[in-house]
């Protein structure tokens, strides 16, 4: 049998340190998922094709979806690589050129910087208030 002096004594602070670490890791991982995005519809004249983000291009008879590295813009023409599945195991990859005058609409994914900043800022503020406010107050610590 172990004597009382051989048993480790866990104070209140060290017992709850593991919970705080888990909370901090959870909040940090949630910050990686935060981001406010929206889709903006534009005419080809309004869109800057050198922006090089993910876009959806609508022509008279076809809708194309391009990732940022699948297309480039040169001399009023959009050049892109398109992948078309032939069967379950084989894809056909070919290049196309789309003159800007044939494009009816461009849909681009945009980031809402203000919304993202407000969400990230409020989460950081809550973490700071929990961290700094944990030992304050007449009734003792807020987090136990």
41-81 pLDDT, tens digit per residue, is: 888 888 887 777 888 999 999 898 988 888 888 888 989 98
Distances (CA, A) of 134 to 119, 126, 137: 22, 12, 8
d(CA 105, CA 75): 18
pLDDT at 141: 54
Between residues 114 and 28, the one the model is more confident about: 114
The answer, as to whether pTM is greater than 0.75, is no
CATH class label, 39-109: mainly beta
Q: Indicate the domain borders of the chain.
A: 39-109
Q: What are phi and psi of 99, to 5 degrees?
A: -65, 140
């Amino acid at each position: 049998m172990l004597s009382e002096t051989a048993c480790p004594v866990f104070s209140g602070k060290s017992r709850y340190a593991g919970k705080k670490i888990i909370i901090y890791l959870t909040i940090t991982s949630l910050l990686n998922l935060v981001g406010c995005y929206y889709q903006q519809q534009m005419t080809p004249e309004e869109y800057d094709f050198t922006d090089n983000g993910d876009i959806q291009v609508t022509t008279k008879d076809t809708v194309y979806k391009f990732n940022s590295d699948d297309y480039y813009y040169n001399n009023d023409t959009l050049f892109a690589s398109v992948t078309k599945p032939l069967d379950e195991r084989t894809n056909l990859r070919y290049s196309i050129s789309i003159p800007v005058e044939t494009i009816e609409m461009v849909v681009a994914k945009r980031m809402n910087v203000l919304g993202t900043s407000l969400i990230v800022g409020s989460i950081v503020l809550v973490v700071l208030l929990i961290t700094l406010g944990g030992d304050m107050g007449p009734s003792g610590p807020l987090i136990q």
